[in-house]
């Protein structure tokens, strides 16, 4: 079985660093970027990305705008998108799923829960 390649999209480099470290020690291959616009470019150019961990609250283009655009890329219609949010308010999970996310996890990320989610890809 080959390593799963994950795209981490977050405007806070500290979050990227923490997630990349956590996932790499568990044999995931990670790439990252700090904007949804950059994520769209990466998803069009890197066919090996298996899933996206997407911060929902970013400047310029947030995750709610980005998910439909990601899923509109012909080769990415079924890519697994995990919504990440620090908000964790009532209704957030439903809002993320309605936007097209496949799963939702709040920050700070519960690593065990994230690994269970990632086992689905």
pLDDT digits (tens, 9 = 90+) for 72-98: 999 999 999 999 998 667 788 899 999
Q: Where are the alpha helices (DSSP H) in the chain?
A: 13-24, 36-45, 63-71, 92-99, 111-118
Say how many C-beta atoms besides its own lie within 10 A of residue 53's C-beta: 26
d(CA 71, CA 106) in angstroms, rounded, equals 22
Quote the percentage of the chain above a pLDDT of 70. Answer: 97
3-state SS record for 37-69: HHHHHHHHHCCCCCEEEEECCCCCCCHHHHHHH
d(CA 58, CA 65) in angstroms, rounded, equals 10
Q: Higher model confidence: residue 93 or residue 51?
A: 51
pTM, to two decimals:
0.94
Is residue 38 over pLDDT 60?
Answer: yes
Mean pLDDT of 42-53: 96
pLDDT band at residue 1 using 50, 70 and 90 as cut-offs = low
Quick one: residue 60, left, alpha or beta (phi over 0 = left, psi -120 to 50 = alpha)? left
Structural domains of the chain, with CATH? 5-113 (3.40.50.2300)
User: What pLDDT digit, counting tens, does each position of 9-23 carry?
Assistant: 999 999 999 999 999
What is the per-residue pLDDT for 60? 92
Tell me the two tokens of residue 60.
């310029």
């Amino acid at each position: 079985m080959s390593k799963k390649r994950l795209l981490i999209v977050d405007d806070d480099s500290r979050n990227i660093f923490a997630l990349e470290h956590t996932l790499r020690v568990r044999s995931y291959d990670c790439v990252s970027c700090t904007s949804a616009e950059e994520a769209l470019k990466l998803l069009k150019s890197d066919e090996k990305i298996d899933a996206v961990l997407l911060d929902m609250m970013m400047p310029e283009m947030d995750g709610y705008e980005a998910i439909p655009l990601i899923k509109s890329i012909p080769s990415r219609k079924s890519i697994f998108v995990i919504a990440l949010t620090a908000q964790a308010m009532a209704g957030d999970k439903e809002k993320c799923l309605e936007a097209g996310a496949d799963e939702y996890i709040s920050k700070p990320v519960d690593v065990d829960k994230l690994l269970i989610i990632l086992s689905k890809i």
